[in-house]
Structure 1
Amino acid sequence: MKGLQVIYGDRPREMVKKLLYEIELEKKLSKDSIIGLKPNLVLAKPASSGATTSPEIAAGIIEYFQERGFINIRIMEGSWVGDSTKRAYKVCGYENIAQRYNVPLLDLKNDLGVNEQFLGENYKICETVKQVDYLINLPVLKGHCQTKMTCALKNLKGCIPDSEKRRFHSLGLHKPIAYLNGIIKAKLHIVDGIMGDLTFEEGGNPVEMGRIIAGTDPVLVDSYVAELMGYEINEIKHVQIAHEIGLGQLYSDDTPIKEIDRKNMPSVTIKPGHKVKHLSKWINENQACSPCYGSLIHALDKLDDMGLLGSYKGKISIGRGYKESAIDGIGVGICTSKSRYNIAGCPPRAKDLVQVLQKVIKNKK
């Protein structure tokens, strides 16, 4: 699989099955392969909070494999030090998934830690991970209070013992996260971009992005996600380190991306958290789709951090409802192409929105 695949929509089970069908994943595995699914269940909060991987994505993957005769499938996770994996499995809907499909839930907190080495550095990983033939990483597209974002590379931190998680923080997170991916090599990364959090790994300010992203290169996946969230790639240190030590390629405009179901972009549906509600004060929304609206929210958050929004009195228009409207102001996406200042894209990346909005807002102050 070269590059990335992105599918848009709001039905994660059907979406992920369609993605796997496009990839023809079953042709790469023998029927007796042990397949491990590693979601992000950092704590016991449902996916609607923006903190955890939708159980519907796991369900779709399991259905895809079971329909093709694969039976050795297991879900594995080790929640963060302050929470219980067992409780997270229950609250996040994975107990129901396990019962419905007869798939075991493995709590990596119960594992022995085994020593591994990468580039002269010693790390402990959970023993169960070494028993998997094909590991599928299921991170969430969301922010993080220390590393700015968490996605494919960082999600594997759930595969190390609690004592090692504490040590990672003492080491500054970035280098050990990168090096961990040199030891544990997930074969496929499927990113839950349906719902993630704006800035915090624990959820609370969910942002709909209306997509699922798949790729085999975690550096490529994460660098692409960074731009979706409004970051320059060099702002995310663990992604840079992983690239420098040869674990993957950085996203560029030349990266091949196969987009599926662009016409099925879902509408915004959620009630915003306090920070998203604050940012929405600068938005005129009319039938906006969630991939476009989510990019704008991420961009406005970056502009707010720069101190550019406080004195800006204008509004930014977005949504299908503006297709025939002449807007004397800023419009985002192809639906606002008749606006005075239009930022094209369907959907646009937050990184591009930040660059253009920064200039336009400064000029309009």
Structure 2
Amino acid sequence: MLTLTTNDQRWVGLNFSTPVQLIGRSAEFEHIVEVLAQDGDLLITGVPGSGRRTLVRNAAQEAGARVLEIDCIRATDGKRFVQLLAAEINQNWHSVQLQNWIERNASEFLSFEPEGKLKPWPNLGENEIWRTFEILLDLLQIMAVALNQRVVVILHSFPHIRSWDRYGLWEVTLRRDIKAQTHVSYVLIATIAETNYQDENNYPLETLQLPPLDRDVLALWAREVLHTQQLKFDSRSTALQLFLDAVQGHIGDAIALIRRLQTLCHAQELITPKEVEQAITELLKDLSITFESLLMLLPANQVHLLESLALDPTEKPQSKEYIQKHGLSRGGSLQGALTGLQHKGLIYGAEQGYQPALPLFALWLKRRLS
């Protein structure tokens, strides 16, 4: 371990045995544990790679809760959402207990296949699917009370359900149950906090935002991880600064780059700027197909804006000078591109100066265009 000087006392208590995604998130972690232990519910926002999932999973485990997870991107409609919820319930509770309850209370909506899998009946109508959804939500509370164990339902990419829940009925019902259930906590995970939910006043959720990590926190973490492999940055060089500049406080990119450095360098070696640059170059090459595919999925105005921000970062992309310099569209088209990129987790909002949210992707774009 590093020796802490007087100036380093802010690091006392930082636990390096925790998963790397939790480094720098100790305050958020403790808050989530407290909220879940008190039957609270949360909306957690942050870009991909900011540690949202790991943070919530570990907090739920610390709170002694049983965790159910649903990826809302896979829920292409209400029927599919119900199927995913049923599968998670089946996976978390003994099938005999579950089967007895279903046979007594919901056999017209749910069935057990020979291998013991709980599934909605295949030919349910729209109203029957809705009723099945309500039954499963009630079942979460019933099972939690029966087992005397808190349950945490994690809904990843939650806003995606709005693509098919056009009238907000499913979301209103979920939020109503979130407030009503006493043994089940819900954690909604999104990229940004939504501002267009119509019934927020009736069923509000506390929002916890995960910003980029502080450079000093990330630097200390990187040194500690490398120390376990008998590696360290050459303090006489700019190696650490190059590393921090490349990852820009993004824990996911930092983990990927550290792993690459560990494969390139031998024990007792000093990591120089040459090794850092080699690791970055190799990593960008490996990720190039992924990045190319991501660009192909974006509308042209979003690609143009993202390339502009990668080449020429600014806190004021709406300024007349920046628009003219990069040939951007004015008005609604530019604002739409900004909003779209924020929703996709590719740039931060105004509070972070509209900087690219995936630093290695931004670096790849910059090198590709230079």
Max Rg structure? 2
TM-score (normalizing by structure 2): 0.34
- Structure with the higher strand share, 1 or 2: 1
